[in-house]
Amino acid sequence: MRNHTLPFLSLLAVLLFVACGDRGYTGGNTPATLTDATSSGKAARVYADSDSSLTTASEDEVNALFASLQSGEIVTLEPKRYYLDAPIELDGVDDFVLDGNGAVLILRNKDEDVLRVSSSTNVILKNFKATHVEPEGPLGCRGSVINVFYSSDIMVENCRLNGSGLIGIAAFNVKNLRATHNYIYNNSQYGILFDTDTSIDLSYNRFEDNGASGTMHLAKALDPGLTEIDQITKDQVAEGLKMSRNRFN
């Protein structure tokens, strides 16, 4: 789904735009914390490898689940395809868990991010595939998959972030973003892009076929205008960055 002809200015436009209870849960009634979500070793592949095996959620189901997400909720989806007309928005949401349970999230609007987290704390996103509808024409999608900004203690775990957009995970001014056991692939610009105000911990992720070269898996934006980008090609530990056991294909 990645389109190599998408211009870098489209990425800049999107990033400049970004800058300027309990539902269906079958367990206990206390939301998990970021520490609870930490995995060791290999994670189970909970997400669906084949979308064709899943039924499609009704419009009423989608609206009931995502219309108004609140702090303290644990939302556990059924393993279905969920077609979205707008991004899933977590704005000012704290102590929140979205467990996809093998679901596939598909955004129809190719100019928007599939899932957006802003001004939120202690959010766990896990066990789902996220993508856009298949693009038509030469430009493809211009939204990213997950976009996180002005937030802290965010976990993305055991997800497939399909390159239906510019970036698999975009992070700006995020404290303690952790991504583990994800498959991040086919993104037009980068697998993950983060800025100098973000601290990030990456482990056991698989990166494949990102950017026009197929190797633009991870990059750090050194200035707000994105005129300086530091590409990262292997695991390392540096200021604001901790990496271990990631695969770059």
Q: What are the extents of the domains in the chain?
A: 8-35+43-248
Confidence of residue 214 (pLDDT cuts 50, 70, 90): very high
pTM: 0.82
Give the separation between CA 116 and CA 93, rounded to whole angstroms: 11
- Least confident range from 40-44, 58-62, 194-198, 207-211: namely 40-44
Spatial contact of 236 and 244, defined as CB atoms under 8 Å apart: no
- Average pLDDT (98-115) is 94
The burial class, CB within 10 Å (0-12 / 13-18 / 19+), for 144 is buried
Q: Write the pLDDT tens digit of every residue in 132-183.
A: 987 554 455 678 999 999 999 999 999 999 876 689 999 999 999 999 999 9
The residue behind tokens 């990033």 is 15
Confidence of residue 227 (pLDDT cuts 50, 70, 90): confident
Residue 34 is predicted with a pLDDT of 44
- Average pLDDT (101-123) is 95
Q: Write the pLDDT tens digit of every residue in 19-66.
A: 333 444 333 333 444 434 333 344 444 444 557 789 999 999 999 999
Residue 156 is predicted with a pLDDT of 98
- Average pLDDT (94-123) is 96
In CATH terms, the fold of domain 8-35+43-248 is Pectate Lyase C-like (2.160.20)
Q: And the tokens for 171? A: 């992070």
Spatial contact of 202 and 182, defined as CB atoms under 8 Å apart: no
How far are the Cα atoms of 29, 43, 111, 129, 184 from residue 179, in angstroms, in the given order? 25, 12, 24, 14, 10
Q: Determine the residue type at 114.
A: V
